Amino acid sequence: MSFPLFDLTGRRALVTGSSQGIGYGLALGLAEHGACLVINGRNAEKAAAAAETIRARGLHALSVAFDVTDAAAAREGVAYIESEIGPVDILVNNAGMQFRTPLESFPIEKWDELLKTNVSSIFYVSQPVAQAMIGRGRGKIINIASVQAELARPGIAPYTATKGAVRNLTRGMATDWAKYGLQVNAIAPGYFKTPLNQALVDDPKFSAWLETRTPAGRWGNVEELVGAAVFLASDASSFVNGHMLMVDGGIAASL
């Protein structure tokens, strides 16, 4: 049985920050649904290894390394993909970082780094990708936000600010680009077992709190984000625009 609405066969997907964690999980999931993947990261060796792992499964993947926090590098990287590999049909802006410390002692340089990595990078990569998509009259852009776009915890105020910005940037991108045939949406993961969260996963006190706080009663697994990504990358979401899809086990819905 086939499901053409969710079929990504022949579509090229660029996933930033996809050599590990959520980015790699999303890249693999899109590839399993037929997409040809372009793995991206700053470390060329790690990106190449991730692409090789996907190819070893009989799927399609290449790697292109560039720093998404550098506007010129991002534009050059997108231009290379478009001219040498092929058009980007799906862009997943996944690259991001976290830094935890009380706000009153939060280092200025880390504030700047968070903004550049979590917000500016989305603009730097999306603008040249969208310019090409507009010329073709179609395209899918998925920004990775967070449950922290809606909620806050001690020690991560700047991170919550960046993810709130991602939510509103998603709305703005959809408002500007929907008329050209683009759909721009966001996925807001809750708490997932990833390298970014490993310190929290390994903290028995935090894990116990999270399992009590989350209606589903557990951490999320990266594979559980794939369905949302496939939906937003496929024809199934052809009239969904500017939306942020929560994938959080119900944590944002519950006190």
Domains of the chain: 4-247 (3.40.50.720)
Alpha helix stretches (DSSP H) within 187-244:
198-201, 204-213, 226-233
Indicate if the pLDDT at residue 71 is higher than 90. Answer: yes
pLDDT in tens, 74-99: 999 999 999 999 999 999 999 999 99
Q: Is the pTM of this model over 0.95?
A: yes
Examine the pLDDT at 43 and tell me if it is beyond 80.
Answer: yes
The one catalytic residue in 24, 124, 159, 191 is 159
DSSP 192: B
| SS3 label, residue 90 | strand
* 159 is a catalytic site residue: yes
> From CA 242, how far away is CA 149, in angstroms rounded?
14
Give 147-183 pLDDT, tens digit per residue: 999 999 999 999 999 999 999 999 999 999 999 999 9
